[in-house]
Amino acid sequence: MPLFVIAGRANCPLFVHAIQIANYLSEHLPDIIINKQEFYGEEWSDFLLDINSTNSWYITKSPVIWKEVGFAGSKPHLIGGLSEFWEYIDDYYGTKTFLDRKAVAELCSQNMKAYTEKNLLSAKEKLKSSVIGMYGFNNDFAQMLLPELFNVHGLFEKNMVTIKIYDPESLRDPDTEDEVRSIMESYEREIQAHVKYELLFSTTISFFIENTDFILITEDYSQKEEEDRSTWLKRCSLDMNELATEINDTGGEHLKILCCHLGPVCFTATALTLHIKEKYHNNIIAVTAYEGLKALSSVSKLTDIPISHLAAPPVWGFVGLDQFVDVQGVIVIQDIIRPYKRALKDVRDSTLPQKKVRKELRMLSCIVNQRNFENSVIKRCNQYSILGRKPILPLLRATLHLLELWSSPKKAADVVISLGVHSDGSFGIPQKIVFSQPVTLNDKNIWVPFDKLPIFDQSHREIEKCIKFTSDLMQLIADCF
């Protein structure tokens, strides 16, 4: 059964004319199927570039028509434009029909109106729903993250939420889907109070990416015992290359990608940026603040400052392979009493307020002697690796906090956190790599370096070491990309 695919610009008279001919054939010859693909503006240019590159064609004008025999998606046989299509159907089917210019112009106007209304309806429906994808699920972190997502209110402000899960290893185990669904059922009553949701297990990457708003890369990319560094990083890079290729083909315009996994998060994010379209570069983020969160508990114990009064220190470096947690940069949130003038008059039995309590931010280095303190914190943080523990809980907290901020930009106003972002050269960091640094969210909902952060000389030297390590490493592992 032949399938004719007719692609073109929605406002192109030749495209509309070709569709009219194809519909006539379909009505009179029931074994013929017509697939219409219409585009407008830059969509058409991008489509043309992709299809010419894929099939080694050299089409420059609308429409482009080809034939697929047997089933959709089979090898395409190029027919050409409208003139070639006319010749084809005349030779093959002996069919002749004519439309005058006025009729074609009327059809073109009607088609453009229908195209606009369809896209408007699609846009309205999309505003009412959101899609979250989890890439990798067969690990403790991903399975802990899934139910916690429903506590991120910014992700569930819409009427309908779809959660897609893609994990080839889990898909090979038929019991995995049943187990996840049973877990979700235990949260059913609480979740349904938040939002109506749908849970889908994707069997293909293309379906997983299509119409998705947030992709959370939650696969466990920790180094395996039998792997050397080169083999390990090549494995991670190949996965990111495959994912980037699919995103280039089917990803939405405003897709956000979070590398929030165990392993070399800055490396995987960098690998993505090297293969993905440039428009996505600022939307690829590596979650790195968890390295700083590991230090907060130690700082609190050593200083007797409540952990609720501490803000995570800046995290620098190619996290997962090399990083520097600037303990001197821990922020202490102090309550400061500011007395009113009336308090100085010592008016007895006055019921008027005498003072105001305000929050003031101070750096830990202004309060604590750093020499022995920093070494103690580093030793405590290293217990994770010494005991073989994976930092799942700090990573979970950092990921949820980031999602809350990124999905509700008003909450992120004036907030400074540590993230791996695509470097623009700030702080002397080489460009075209994802490097952890202090960032803030700008008015375009893009995370940008916060270059006003004060940095001590000792910390600056450690940051330069991280930059040199990363530059040298990128040269050594160039073949991993």
Q: Which domain holds residue 403?
A: 290-329+364-480
The two beta strands, 64-69 and 2-9, are: antiparallel
Judge if 207 and 325 occupy the same domain.
no
For 2, the token pair is 């032949």
DSSP string, 157-186: -SSEEEEEEE-HHHHT-HHHHHHHHHHHHH
- Which residue, chain included where needed, has tokens 């968890």? 290
pLDDT of residue 77: 85
Closest of 121, 127, 145 to residue 135, by C-alpha: 145
Q: Looking at the structure, do residues 279 and 411 belong to the same domain, yes or no?
A: no
CATH code where residue 154 lies: 3.40.50.720
pLDDT for 173: 60
Q: Provide the CATH number for the domain around residue 82.
A: 3.40.30.10
CA torsion angle 146 148 150 153 (round to 10)? -130
Report the CATH number that the domain containing residue 401 is assigned in CATH: 3.90.110.10
Return the pLDDT at 258.
Answer: 95
* Judgement on whether residues 170 and 101 belong to the same structural domain of the protein: no
User: Quick one: DSSP state of residue 295?
Assistant: H
Q: Say what the pTM is.
A: 0.67
Please check whether residue 340 lies inside any domain of the structure.
no
Which residue, of 66, 90, 123, is where some domain finishes?
Answer: 123
DSSP bridge pairs for 37: 7
DSSP 428: G
My answer on whether 185 and 209 are in the same domain is yes
The DSSP line for 207-239 is: HHHTT-SEEEE----PPPTT--HHHHHHHHHHH
Check residue 114 and give its pLDDT.
64
Query: Count of domains in the chain?
Result: 3
The verdict on 112 and 163 lying in the same domain is no
> Do 192 and 257 belong together in one domain?
yes
Q: Are 96 and 113 contained in the same domain?
A: yes
- Do 159 and 195 lie in a common domain? yes
Can you name the residues that pair with 33 across neighbouring β-strands? Answer: 3
User: Are both 191 and 237 inside the same structural domain?
Assistant: yes
Whether 341 maps to a domain, the answer reads: no
Closest by CA position to 308, among listed 333, 325, 337:
333
Which residues, in sequence order, are bridge partners of residue 284? 257
Q: Which residues, given as ranges, of the chain have pLDDT below 70?
A: 1-2, 28-31, 69-74, 92-129, 157-159, 169-177, 179, 181, 183-195, 334, 338, 340-355, 357-389, 412-413, 480-481
Looking at residue 460, its pLDDT comes to 86
For residues 304 and 410, membership in a common domain is answered with: yes
The reply to whether 357 falls in a domain is: no
312 in the same domain as 242: no
My answer on whether 119 and 134 are in the same domain is no
